[in-house]
Amino acid sequence: MRHGTIDMAFNEENIGEGKVKGRTTSEIVEAISKKIIDIYGKTIKYYKPVRNPMLMVKELRSRFKLIVPQRIVSLTIAAFLSNRPVLYEGPPGTGKTEIGEAILTLWAGKSSFVLPCSSNYDEYRVIGDFHPLMALRYGFNEESYIPRTILAALVLDTGVLVDEIRRSSEEFQNLLLDIIDKRRIIVPELKAVFKARGQGFQIIFTSNPEDIGQGELSDAFLRRVVRIRFYYPSKELEYEIVKIRTSDINVELPNELLSKMLEVVNMLREKALHKPGPADTVLWATLAKHLALVAGKKVVDVRDVVESAPIALIKREEDTDIVIKTVSELLGASPW
C-alpha cells in the first residue's frame, strides 16, 4: 500500500468516482471521515483560529505561557500561507516542541497532534492501516481500515507537530512533504482520495542538530521546508520565561537570585557538555521554589537554589565538576 506519493496507476485523476464493493468512493471517504471524528473528535478542543502574527504572540503568552519572538511567529505564518511545512531547529529546551504545538493549535483553532518520531515510522503507522483480523473477516474496506494521526489531522483540518524528525527515515520525510505539497492523501486499496478541507492542516517539524546519534536530514528535505532557527534567549527574555512559568507557585524568587541563576546557566552554555536550555532553567527555579514551599518559607533563599542546582543542571556525568564549580563561584555556596 502506498499513500501520499503518486504511484504509477494510482493518481487522483484515474481514481475517479469508482465503486468498491458497491460503495462509491465518496461514500468511503465519508465513512472513514466519520470514523475519524468518532475516534479523535472527543479529544479535540475547538477555539477561534488566530492567524494574525501580533495577536498570536499575545495569545501564546496569555494562553500558553510561552514567550515567543515575533520573528518565529511571523515566519511560521508566512510558511503556512505559502503551503510550506516548517522546520524548527535549535538546541534542546528552547521551546521548539511546545511552541510548535501551540502555534499549530492557534492557527487551526483546534487542538493539534504531536507525533514523536521513531525510525520505524512509515505510512501504515501514521496514515492508516487495515486491521488484519477485520480485513480477513470483512475484506479490505472502510470497515477494516484504521485511520491514524496524519489522516486524522487532514480530515479534521488541524496541525501536526512531527517531533525530532531526524529520528525517522528519509522515505518517511518525503512522504510527509508530499502530502503537504499536494494537500491530499490517497489510499489506493479503497480508491479513496482525502483532500484537505481548509488551511488548518499544517506540519511543523522539529530537530535538534546538536543531538548526537541522529540521522542527517537530506538536502531535498531541507530545500522543501522553511527552516526557522531557535536560539538561547537573551537574559531579559529568559528572566521573563522563568517568571511566567513559575508564577503559580506561591513563593517569591528574589530578582537577585534569579539573575545569578541566569549567570550560571549562561556560563554553563559556554563550558559544559550539556548546555542547559530555558527548560532546565525553568525546572531549576521550579524545584527551588518547591523546596522553599515545603519548608514553609515565603521566599526562596540561596540554599534552595544551590541544592536544586545539580538535579536541574547535571544531565551528563562529565559535567558534575563544572556545574558544582560554577554554582559555588556564582552563588557563594556549594551543593555538597
User: What is the contact surface with ligand ATP in residues (CB under 6 A)?
Assistant: 66-68, 92-98, 206, 208, 241, 245, 278-279, 282
Q: Which three cell numbers stand for residue 49?
A: 483560529
Look at residue 245 and give the partner it binds from ligand ATP, Mg ion, none, a contact being a CB closer than 5 to 8 Å depending on partner kind. Answer: ligand ATP
Question: How many residues form the binding site for Mg ion (CB under 5 A)?
Answer: 1
Question: To the nearest whole angstrom, how small is the minimum distance from the Cβ of residue 169 to ligand ATP?
Answer: 20
CA–CA gap between residue 257 and residue 185 (Å, rounded) = 53
Nearer to ligand ATP, 197 or 316 (CB): 316
Q: Pick one of Mg ion, ligand ATP, none as the site partner of residue 98 (Cβ within 5 to 8 A by kind).
A: ligand ATP
Angstrom CA distances, 69 to 61, 72, 171, stand at 11, 6, 33
Dist CA 172 CA 162 (whole Å): 11
Instruction: Tell me if 263 sits within 8 A of 318, measured CB to CB.
Output: no
The one-character DSSP state at 89 is: E
Which residue sits closest to ligand ATP, CB atoms considered? 95
**Least Å from the CB of residue 326 to Mg ion:** 25
Q: Name the minimum Å distance from CB 97 to Mg ion.
A: 3
Q: Which of ligand ATP, Mg ion, none does residue 208 bind (CB under 5 to 8 Å by kind)? A: ligand ATP
Q: Please tell me whether residue 207 binds Mg ion under the rule CB under 5 A.
A: no
Binding mask 134-173 for Mg ion (x = CB under 5 A): ----------------------------------------
Q: Are strands 203-207 and 160-163 parallel, antiparallel or unpaired?
A: parallel
Choose the one of ligand ATP, Mg ion, none that binds residue 289, judging by a C-beta under 5 to 8 angstroms depending on kind: none
Report the relative pairing of strands 203-207 and 86-89 from DSSP bridges.
parallel
State which amino acid sits at residue 5: T
Distance CA 147, CA 112 (A): 16
Least Å distance, CB 211 to ligand ATP, is 7
Residues facing residue 110 across a β-bridge: 46
Is the CB of residue 187 less than 8 Å from the CB of residue 177? no
Indicate which of ligand ATP, Mg ion, none lies near residue 314 (CB less than 5 to 8 Å, by partner kind). Answer: none
Question: Contact 291/304 with Cβ under 8 angstroms?
Answer: yes
Q: Which does 165 bind (CB under 5 to 8 A by kind): ligand ATP, Mg ion, none?
A: none
Contact positions with Mg ion (CB under 5 A) in 71-130: 97
CB of 191 or CB of 274, closer to ligand ATP: 274
Three-class SS string for 158-223?
Answer: CCEEEECHHHCCHHHHHHHHHHHHHCEEEEHHHCEEEECCCCCCCEEEEECCCCCCCCCCCHHHHH
Burial tier of 336 (Cβ tally within 10 Å: 0-12, 13-18, 19+) = exposed
C-beta of residue 237 within 8 angstroms of C-beta of residue 194: no
Nearest distance from C-beta of residue 100 to Mg ion, angstroms: 8
Q: Work out whether the CA dihedral 296, 297, 302, 305 comes out positive or negative.
A: positive
Choose from ligand ATP, Mg ion, none: what does 60 bind? Cβ within 5-8 Å by kind.
Answer: none
- 279 touches, from Mg ion, ligand ATP, none (C-beta below 5 to 8 Å by class): ligand ATP
Among residues 158 and 208, whose Cβ is nearest to ligand ATP?
208
**CB of 88 or CB of 145, closer to ligand ATP:** 88
Closer Cβ to ligand ATP, 68 or 154, answer by number: 68
Q: Name the residue nearer to ligand ATP (CB basis): 87 or 282.
A: 282
**Contact footprint for Mg ion (CB under 5 A):** 97
